[in-house]
Amino acid sequence: GAVVSQHPSRVICKSGTSVKIECRSLDFQATTMFWYRQFPKQSLMLMATSNEGSKATYEQGVEKDKFLINHASLTLSTLTVTSAHPEDSSFYICSAKTGFSNYGYTFGSGTRLTVV
Amino acid sequence: GENVEQHPSTLSVQEGDSAVIKCTYSDSASNYFPWYKQELGKGPQLIIDIRSNVGEKKDQRIAVTLNKTAKHFSLHITETQPEDSAVYFCAASTSPGGYQKVTFGTGTKLQVIP
């Protein structure tokens, strides 16, 4: 079945540094990927929609200059948290739309980011 | 935008009993309703989904019902097992601008007591 690989699973970084999270579709081409943020014991909040070869579409309230998204190929989207601060600590999850259906989504395993 | 409400937030059942989780949505344009199971520290996994042209769907111990008129849908798990313990999210999806945008419910933490 469709598999989405997300790396790293955990990362700790210092305040002010940048962190890159990768989301890869392993056995299908994903023209559209989604990036979510999840706080402890809360639901998933959509941050942005990543479309291959074009600029990402950000949800209201999400800083595009802080959360840089690049979808340079049909199998890879990256989220870079720039100048990270402790309040950026969260669980980040990507998902990809499986190409053969307008309805199917597969999620990555998530990345736990801790900014110290 | 779409608003999805989910109840209950926590649910404890004895092993072998049934569990029911209910969701309501606000946008009548929503046409796809997936349910996800999320274990601690992992990403959500799709367990069942239903489209707006179907009223009920079943897959072994899991079933989902949809009432478009009332804008609500439910997840039913029968013969629950300890491994069913997890957080379950409902979601509703529309197609603004040519792509599916998914709005998640607030989640239900299910605990199955052996």
- Chain B residues with CB under 8 Å of A6 CB are 43
Distance from the Cα of B89 to chain A's closest Cα (Å) equals 8
Q: In the prediction, which pLDDT does A103 show?
A: 60
Flag if A42 and B106 touch (Cβ within 8 Å): yes
Chains A & B: contacts with CB separation below 8 Å: 54
Q: Which residues of A touch B106 (CB under 8 A)?
A: 42-43
State whether A107 and B49 contact (CB < 8 Å): no
Buried b (16+ CB within 10 A) or exposed e, B27-61: beebbbbbbbbbeeebbbebbbbbebeeeeeeeee
Q: For testing the chain B interface, which of A44, A58, A71, A111 should be mutated: the one with the most B CBs within 10 Å?
A: A44
Q: What percent of chain A has pLDDT over 70?
A: 93
Q: Mean pLDDT score of chain A, rounded to an integer?
A: 90
Predicted pLDDT at A106: 86
Question: What one-character DSSP code corresponds to residue B63?
Answer: E
Point out the residue among A4, A49, A104 whose CB comes nearest to the CB of B99.
A49
**What confidence tens digit (pLDDT) does each residue in B35-87 have?**
999 998 899 999 999 988 889 999 999 999 999 999 999 999 999 999 999 99
Question: Which member of B36, B45, B100 has the closest CB to residue A103?
Answer: B100
pLDDT at residue B101 greater than cutoff 90 = no
Locate the chain B residue with the closest alpha carbon to A34.
Answer: B101
Nearest-Cα residue of chain A relative to residue B31: A103
